[in-house]
């Protein structure tokens, strides 16, 4: 067993996985700093609700679970830096930060990346209208703000979040005009059989579906939003069926919430040079890790949904196992102690992972839509690049995403391709018949998000500017 190494550890992300890992690491005696951009820890699932939301949203496991997690974090020895974002990092893993106290740096340390997931979108005519929001964004607005995105909502996309958002709309007194699901009934039935391995998730799913059916909400499977037009009172939405494109359904609604599953946030791990691969079931890029979150860099671990989308229960177990593995790698515990501490969590992970893997195709059900997007549809909303422009570049020889980016500016905007990369990749692979690995991903750039100019320049007055002496007459 190596001699104990008590050098600092930095955890990026204060959600379920990150907070769990940070608390466990501190119990092993390690100095831990937890960084999170929100004002309170909890991540997306356990995000701290506003006072108004606590009054308007019925009590739920997300509120109670978040309160419990924040209480444990406050009682630990973890140094928590909230309202702080990582905007860059060096090859040695020096972290560039920005928060309420301005810009700062954390010196190189072992880093645990637990920065969660990003919502995935596939474009269609009208998807950039302000009345259309993401499923995750709508969920945050309702669950944590206690506010409906609109009194009448069409919910569209793929994956379990589709039905969660519809349930939340009803819970707050809104009306769901329709649920538009890219997945098939057969896939949901298969998932239902697997949910026997995860009773809590099965009970929640049955409760949601019972309420939605009681409300008489039309559910269109193997369907998608094919267009959205703004009207004086809201939106006129066209729903098309994948297997019968000529069959269309029209719905009027104030707003639409639309999203096609989640994907790991990889800007930090890609910038750190960690090895990644394309998960065919999930349809996304993810870091290559072992069960404990170890990566191709010995000083960087990835845990929670940042290592692959598996859900809340798996994220907590992953955070725990990662912490114990790091402690073993540092020589703080023996391999026998690691085996003892993680035996039950790893067994639970194997069981729950089987359920989560069955869910991935449902979240990836809309992947075929990007390849058939209309030419005049905007794909990259930051740079307003249309599908026609991308197809033209691909036909001219752009066979990977960075070549496509150089020729069209797709992915050069403030979001760095978070919203358009999947659609652009699908266009490349669909046209060139190459693999997602061949198409690659947009090169991550720093800063990871736009920085306020004052944070770079500081504050000064004209009197602070040194002026040269006037030239002699």
Return per-residue pLDDT of the chain as tens, 473 residues.
668 889 999 999 999 999 999 999 999 999 999 999 999 999 999 999 999 999 999 888 889 999 999 999 999 999 999 999 999 999 999 999 999 888 999 998 999 999 999 999 999 999 999 999 999 999 999 999 999 999 999 999 998 899 999 999 999 999 999 999 999 888 877 776 666 666 776 777 777 777 888 889 999 999 999 999 999 989 999 999 998 888 999 999 999 999 999 999 999 999 999 999 999 989 999 999 999 999 999 999 999 999 999 989 999 999 999 999 999 999 999 999 999 999 999 999 998 888 888 888 888 887 778 778 999 999 999 999 999 999 999 999 999 999 999 999 999 999 999 999 999 999 999 888 889 999 999 998 999 998 888 777 777 777 777 888 888 87
Q: Write down the pLDDT at residue 196.
A: 66
Burial of 175 (0-12, 13-18, 19+ CB in 10 A): middle
Instruction: Set out the domains of the chain in order of their start, with CATH numbers.
Output: 9-118+263-361 (3.50.50.60), 121-260 (3.50.50.60), 373-439 (1.10.10.1100)
Rg for the chain, CA atoms, rounded: 23
Q: Write down the pLDDT at residue 207.
A: 76
Cα–Cα distance measured from residue 288 to residue 294, given in angstroms and rounded to the nearest whole number: 8
- What element of type H or E holds 434? none
Q: How far is CA 259 from CA 50, 112, 208, 374, 402, in A?
A: 24, 28, 19, 18, 25
Omega before residue 310 within 30° of 0, cis:
no
Cα–Cα distance measured from residue 397 to residue 392, given in angstroms and rounded to the nearest whole number: 9
Q: Write down the pLDDT at residue 467.
A: 80
Please give the model's pTM, rounded to 2 decimal places.
0.92
Nearest to 256 by CA among 419, 124, 163, 131: 131
Q: How far is CA 415 from CA 65, 124, 231, 251, 437, in A?
A: 31, 19, 29, 31, 22
Cα–Cα distance measured from residue 177 to residue 218, given in angstroms and rounded to the nearest whole number: 7
Task: Give the chain's end-to-end CA distance (angstroms, integer).
Answer: 79
Q: Write down the pLDDT at residue 187.
A: 80
Backbone angles phi, psi at 24, to 5 degrees: -65, -40
Query: In this structure, what token pair is assigned to residue 459?
Result: 């504050």
Nearest to 123 by CA among 366, 332, 393: 366
- What element of type H or E holds 431? helix 421-432
Q: Write down the pLDDT at residue 3.
A: 81
Q: Write down the pLDDT at residue 110.
A: 96
Entry field: residues in the chain: 473
- What element of type H or E holds 400? none
Contact 110, 7 (CB under 8 A): yes
């Amino acid at each position: 067993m190596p001699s104990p190494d008590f050098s600092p550890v930095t955890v990026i992300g204060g959600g379920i996985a990150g907070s769990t890992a940070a608390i466990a690491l501190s119990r092993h005696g390690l100095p831990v700093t937890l960084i999170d951009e929100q004002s309170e820890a909890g991540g997306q699932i356990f995000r701290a609700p506003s006072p108004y939301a606590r009054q308007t949203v019925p009590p739920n496991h997300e509120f109670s679970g978040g309160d419990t997690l924040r209480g444990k974090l406050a009682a630990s020895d973890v140094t928590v830096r909230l309202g702080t974002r990582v905007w860059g990092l060096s090859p040695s893993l020096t972290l560039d930060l920005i928060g309420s106290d301005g810009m700062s740096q954390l010196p190189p340390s072992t880093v645990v990346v637990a920065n969660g997931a990003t919502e995935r979108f596939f474009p269609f005519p009208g998807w950039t209208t302000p009345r259309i929001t993401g499923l995750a964004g709508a969920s945050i607005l309702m669950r944590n703000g206690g506010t409906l995105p609109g009194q009448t909502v069409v919910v569209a996309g793929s994956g379990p979040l589709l039905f969660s958002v519809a349930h939340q709309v009803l819970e707050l007194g809104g009306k769901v005009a329709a649920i538009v699901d890219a997945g098939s009934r057969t896939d949901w039935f298969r998932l239902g059989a697997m949910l026997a391995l995860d009773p809590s998730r099965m009970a929640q799913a049955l409760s949601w579906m019972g309420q939605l059916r009681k409300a008489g909400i039309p559910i269109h499977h193997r369907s998608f939003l094919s267009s959205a037009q703004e009207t004086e009172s809201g939106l006129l939405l066209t729903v098309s069926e994948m297997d019968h494109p000529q069959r269309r359904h029209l719905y009027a609604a104030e707003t639409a919430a639309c999203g096609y599953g989640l994907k790991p946030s990889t800007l930090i791990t890609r910038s750190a040079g960690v090895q990644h691969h394309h998960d065919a079931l999930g349809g996304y890029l993810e870091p290559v890790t072992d069960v404990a979150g170890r990566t191709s860099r010995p000083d960087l671990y990835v845990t929670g949904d940042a290592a692959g989308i598996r859900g809340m229960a798996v994220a907590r177990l992953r955070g725990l196992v990662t912490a114990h593995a790091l402690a073993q790698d540092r020589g703080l515990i023996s391999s026998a102690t690691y085996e003892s501490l993680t035996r039950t969590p790893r067994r639970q992970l194997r069981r729950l992972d089987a359920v989560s893997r069955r869910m991935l195709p449902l979240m990836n059900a809309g992947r075929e839509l990007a390849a058939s997007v209309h030419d005049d549809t905007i794909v990259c909303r930051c740079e307003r690049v249309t599908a026609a422009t991308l197809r033209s570049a691909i036909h001219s020889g752009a066979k990977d995403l960075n070549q496509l980016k150089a020729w069209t500016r797709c992915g050069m905007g403030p979001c760095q391709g978070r919203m358009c990369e999947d659609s652009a990749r699908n266009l490349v692979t669909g046209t060139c018949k190459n693999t997602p690995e061949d198409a690659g991903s947009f090169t991550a750039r720093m800063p990871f998000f736009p920085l306020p100019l004052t944070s770079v320049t500081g504050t000064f007055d004209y009197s602070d500017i040194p002026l040269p002496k006037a030239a002699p007459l």
